[in-house]
Amino acid sequence: MMLRVLWLFAAFDAALLLDTGMLFPRESSSREVKALNGLWAFRADRSPNRNQGFERAWYKSSLAETGPVIDMPVPASYNDITQDATLRDFIGWVWYEREVTVPARWITDGLRVVLRVGSAHYYSVVWVNGVKVTEHEGGHLPFEAEIGTLLREDPTMPCRITIAVNNTLTLQTLPPGTIQYMNDRTRYPDGFFVQNINFDFFNYAGIHRPVLLYTTPKAYVDDITVVTDFLDNTGLVRYNVSVQGASSATVKVTLMDKGGHCVASSTEPSGVLKVVDVSLWWPYLMHESPGYLYSLEVTDSESIDVYALPVGIRTINVTSTQFLINNKPFYFHGVNKHEDADIRGKGLDWPLVVKDFNLIKWLGANSFRTSHYPYAEEILQMCDRHGIVVIDESPGVGIKDIRSFGNASLTHHLAVMDELVRRDKNHPSVVMWSVANEPAAEMNPAEYYFKTLITHTKALDPTRPVTYVTYSNYARDKGAPFVDVICINSYFSWYHDQGHLEVIPLQLNTQFEDWYGKYKKPIIQSEYGADAVAGLHNDPPVMFTEEYQKEVLQNYHSVFDQKRKKYVIGELIWNFADFMTTQGILRVVGNKKGIFTRQRQPKAAAFILKERYWRLANETGTLPLWTKYPCPL
Ligand code: BDP
């Protein structure tokens, strides 16, 4: 027991490399949250250098005074909201603005008022009443600014929030991209340029997640980190709380069970809570009541600020052949997703989120990978509650150009991992970090790049395994020696050997034997699949029909069934649903490898997978009680 506690302490010292917190804004007796979702004024800067907004300081007055504005919903991508193809494909700065009146008590009571943007793609600058309060590089992750002092300058004035967002990608951004000017005036008009990307999803842009204002007292809980373990029936919750603005560093922490009963408490800012008769956090289909969450209620010494963090008690371990959750082998039978839907693009949309969880559970899937960027925190909270296991991926997708392996790129990638781990470290559903998808891992600089990135991520969080997803040749992959789990994508009889379904078992068997033979690490088939245009049929199967997609899957499954008894620890279908991409001759109004359409209707492959996943769950897990009665979903 003592050894375990020491190990937990060690884990924390490393995690403390992260200095300030990014706790999800939650209401409590000391905190209020005000959502600024809804309609914002919007204007794209169509000037040739896209810089007029800055030159003429659009943030200094109301946006409508600078020129024509349109209504733009937040959260949503702006691309598919209008009938204008030039806005759909727009590259450069777009400007958002709205006014908000805050309750007078926020000002008179001397509270901290924080503006938080859940995510905006890609580079953002934020002003409040014409004063710049923050800027942030990168989509998919939140950023904040404290704006209380600006509000206090003139409490009678409504507060004008202006956010400029730029979706231009460079060789140093994540994902990377390049702008290419077309200078042949016989073929392209003056000023014509395109943005080249190396990833297969539409580069949606705008304010994708909620914009919130929230308050805290002046002395406030800035960050909480928990790491959990258990021994026999006793749960261990090692926690660390950081409080800002308080004279004393003492805190009160109380761990409550689901019924609201206190099961452990302490007055130290860090320590280990012991939970007798612990209810562990289990994945969906591995236990009768998955997703058990305690609540860690934290207050500063004077109980002025109160924050309640959901906590799931579970462990993760990896051996050379297994992935263990709570010391039991876990087999990933799941999906890869995208944040993607008609009209709203990548904007967070609750009906879609809940529908997707119902489909995941219907399918009997127990996990997903956040391909190819961090998803909304609201989605991870759903995973915590429903026991859906997550491989949490950074936006390191499309790193193909050797210039994207340089120092500037690596520095940014390390900073993104800091932000990702800081945001998601406390989610029990997150069981592994993926630092990238299909980088050019055979290039020489990849070795230093991935060694540094993976070592850094492990230092941030020694409690979770780290991987990246590869598509390269096993013998030439430079990063594989550093990962804990090998994740491989392959598309046999799709991107090569087209139409030859019969080669799949042989090629897949060779793939697994090669990788395991060389690295002796557990393997996840992190992508496989085939495009199928819903409603297109042919028998014998032909590419793009539902029959072909079905048979690709079945051929892969026969090999998975042999190898999962050995060292294959998971299979994630590409993709959960059809999704939008840039236009190209390989794409029929987007990528059609979904087992559901973009509107979330099943193709034939969905039924194949459903039958398989429930069978796997029956073999490897404990089905929840409700499965013994008619399915409520
Ligand atoms: C994989 C990529 C994924 C693509 C998929 C495909 O990781 O983003 O969408 O191929 O081509 O290599 O469908």
Residue 281 pLDDT grade (very low, low, confident, very high; cuts 50, 70, 90): very high
Residue 247 pLDDT grade (very low, low, confident, very high; cuts 50, 70, 90): confident
Residue 624 pLDDT grade (very low, low, confident, very high; cuts 50, 70, 90): low
Lowest mean pLDDT among 54-63, 447-456, 606-615, 622-631: 622-631
- Residue 210: name the closest of 289, 120, 118, 128 by CA: 118
Does the CB atom of residue 489 touch ligand 1 within 6 A? yes
Spacing, Cα 346 to ligand 1 middle (Å): 18
Predicted confidence (pLDDT) per residue in 92-139, tens digit: 999 999 999 999 999 988 899 999 999 999 999 999 999 999 999 999
| Strand partners for 165 | 94, 124
- Residue 239: name the closest of 222, 256, 254, 227 by CA: 227
Name the helix (H) or strand (E) containing 392: strand 389-393
d(CA 460, CA 437): 20
d(CA 237, CA 225): 10
Domains along the chain with CATH numbers: 32-167+203-216 (2.60.120.260), 220-314 (2.60.40.10), 317-620 (3.20.20.80)
Question: With 50 as the cut, is the pLDDT of residue 539 above it?
Answer: yes
Instruction: Name the residue of 198, 201, 527 to mutate for ligand 1: max ligand atoms within 8 A of Cβ.
Output: 527
The residues annotated with a catalytic role in the active site are 438
Does the CB atom of residue 438 touch ligand 1 within 6 A? yes
d(CA 138, CA 122): 5
CB 313 within 8 A of CB 278: yes
Does the CB atom of residue 349 touch ligand 1 within 6 A? no
Note every long-range contact of 584-590, with CB atoms under 8 Å and residues 24 or more positions apart, other chains counting: 588/531, 588/533, 588/544, 590/202
Per DSSP, the chain holds a count of helices (H) and strands (E) of: 12, 32
Burial 288-299 (b: 16+ CB within 10 A, else e): eebbbbbebbbb
CB 513 within 8 A of CB 568: no
Spacing, Cα 199 to ligand 1 middle (Å): 8
Predicted confidence (pLDDT) per residue in 189-221, tens digit: 999 999 999 999 999 999 999 999 999 999 999
d(CA 522, CA 484): 8
Residue nearest to atom 3 of ligand 1 (CA): 200
Share of the chain above pLDDT 70, in %: 95
d(CA 286, CA 621): 4
Q: What is the pLDDT of residue 18?
A: 52
CB atoms within 10 A of CB 69: 18
Note every long-range contact of 619-623, with CB atoms under 8 Å and residues 24 or more positions apart, other chains counting: 620/286, 620/329, 620/331, 621/283, 621/285, 621/286, 621/287, 621/366, 622/285, 622/286, 622/287, 622/288, 623/285, 623/288
Residue 159, token pair as written in the block: 């507060």
Instruction: Name the residue of 524, 574, 579 to mutate for ligand 1: max ligand atoms within 8 A of Cβ.
Output: 574
Q: What is the pLDDT of residue 532?
A: 98
Does the CB atom of residue 591 touch ligand 1 within 6 A? yes
What is the C-alpha end-to-end distance of the chain, expressed in Å? Answer: 42
Q: What is the pLDDT of residue 626?
A: 61
d(CA 560, CA 555): 9
CB 568 within 8 A of CB 524: yes
